[in-house]
Structure 1
Amino acid sequence: MPLGGDYQGGKIAYVLKSGDPGYDANTPHGLIAAPSDQGSGIPWAPIAPFAFLGTSDALGTGAANTKKIVDYYGDGNYAAKLCADLVLNGHDDWYLPSLAELNILYVNRFAIGGFDTNTNDIPNSYWSSTESDYTSAWFKFFNFGYQTTVTKYDSYRHNVRAIRSF
């Protein structure tokens, strides 16, 4: 299973290793990235109401984070909802990556392909499903790797890339 190879509706982004949650020595599991972005200029959440939903930054928690976000905010045009609603290549179990999962996408961005990594295009960031507090969430710049937080309703050039587990 080579990184970046086509598999189950997307590109192989990561294969779990011993010690990773969900690792099985007999059956490979990992992460699949959608082959392209689901949007640009997308907020993490609608403007209000804010809430701290208790999302996690750990590997293997993006799906649960996405569910918490969508259950709270409902319909709308925001990062987690775009991923949760995605039906791509016969698969409908896409989600917004946790911060750890987003970091994996960053490390393997060239093998996966299709990310906005232009060094002249600032910002070119991607949302995670991980909150910082009531009003902020984590994102990462894919041109130089810096990660930080911003208000959840900020949409200035924040990109969205869905993932799914296999």
Structure 2
Amino acid sequence: MNFPSGSRSYSRKSTGVLLLVGVLAGVTVGGGVGVIAASSSKMVTVCADKKTNVLRYAKDGNCAKTETSVVLNQTGVTGKTGVKGATGKTGATGKTGATGAKGDTGAAGTNGTNGTNGTNGTNGATTNSQVKNICGANGTTACAVGLQGPGGGIVFMTPSTLGNTSGLFFEAAPSTWSSQSGDPTSVWCNNSTELLGVASATGTGAMDGATKTAVMLGVCTSGAANLADTYTATVNGVVYGDWFLPSKGELTQMYVNRDAVGGFGSGVYWSSTEKDANNAWFQDFRTGRLPDNYLKTSNTIRVRPVRAF
């Protein structure tokens, strides 16, 4: 392949001139005329005849032994890495990604040690399942004066008894409630010569012995009320511990029905009713005399508990 005759630079033998001629001169490429430009990015092999310096373009990149090979746009050796540039500014924070799927439930932990046992609660009150108007030893008879009551005593007053506004039945403990020798004796209260607030007017028949007994127990450390309160009776598996010292009205009614109750003999019995700060009312079962009074802390007479139901 020959350069056009218009160029005079092909006769120069200098390699530098050959390169310049190769860059500026036209050569036949693929049967036509092309321009090899210094700015071309394609690597091009040019063959120069060693005798005539005639240049030709080698499509396959190979030159004959009689030619000098000139490669244009050949990639040079990689240069040294340049100095590291300054770190750029931190970009804006990206949006929070979507919430991931819920993880699997972890394995169950081991059981903790048992706590200490709590203290036992107080026992509940004992209830009486006895029907209130059923009496008798066999528990099948309607209650009446003289019959055995639910607590093992003898009924001496019913809701229909004159003066009984409580609506309750009353039974007296048997004469052997304390011992086989009969009713025990005691002072009314061992340590009080003051009015306790359990007085009733002469001749009244208030059926409030349970209330009066509770007041006495709050003051007296021993005496008639304390004896009555300590009595308990167990009948058919039920414990009856709600006995009290009868009031003057209750004691008088017990005297009225003394023969039905039985076991009194010739005795004098305390009531839970005060007359004043120094005296309390009693009932004389020997003479049938109306209630009278004795000194609370010095006179010693008999005690018979009762209960209401």
Q: Secondary structure at the match of 2:281?
A: strand
Deviates more, 1:12-21 or 1:125-134: 12-21
Query: Which ranges of 4 or more aligned residues in structure 1 deviate by more than 4 Å?
Result: none
Q: What CA distance in whole angstroms lies between the structure 2 residues aligned with 1:116 and 1:130?
A: 22
Q: Secondary structure at the match of 2:294?
A: strand
Kindly, what percent of the aligned residue pairs are identical? 32
2:193–2:297: 8 Å Cα contact kept in structure 1? no
- Aligned residue in 2 for 1:3: 145
> Deviation of residue 41 (structure 1)?
2.8
Q: Which amino acid letter does the alignment assign opposite residue 67 of structure 1?
A: A
2:166 pairs with 1:33:
no
Deviates more, 1:105-114 or 1:83-92: 83-92
Q: What CA distance in whole angstroms lies between the structure 2 residues aligned with 1:19 and 1:139?
A: 19
RMSD over aligned Cα atoms: 1.7
2:228 pairs with 1:83:
yes
2:188–2:225: 8 Å Cα contact kept in structure 1? yes
The correspondence of residues 3-152 of structure 1 with structure 2, limited to 5 A, is 3-9=145-151, 10-17=153-160, 20-23=164-167, 29-36=168-175, 38=178, 39-46=183-190, 48-57=191-200, 58-73=205-220, 75-76=221-222, 78-89=223-234, 90-117=239-266, 124-146=267-289, 147-152=291-296
Aligned residues: 151
> Deviation of residue 16 (structure 1)?
1.3
**If the length of structure 1 is used for normalisation, what is the TM-score?**
0.83
Q: What CA distance in whole angstroms lies between the structure 2 residues aligned with 1:59 and 1:69?
A: 17
Higher relative contact order (CA 8 A, sep 6+): 1
Decide whether aligned partners of structure 1 residues 100 and 19 sit closer, same or farther in structure 2, where only a CA change above 3 A counts.
closer
1:56–1:98: 8 Å Cα contact kept in structure 2? no
Q: Secondary structure at the match of 2:174?
A: coil
1:65–1:98: 8 Å Cα contact kept in structure 2? yes
Unaligned runs of 5+ in 2: 1-142
Q: Which amino acid letter does the alignment assign opposite residue 135 of structure 1?
A: N
Decide whether aligned partners of structure 1 residues 106 and 6 sit closer, same or farther in structure 2, where only a CA change above 3 A counts.
same
Deviates more, 1:13-22 or 1:101-110: 13-22
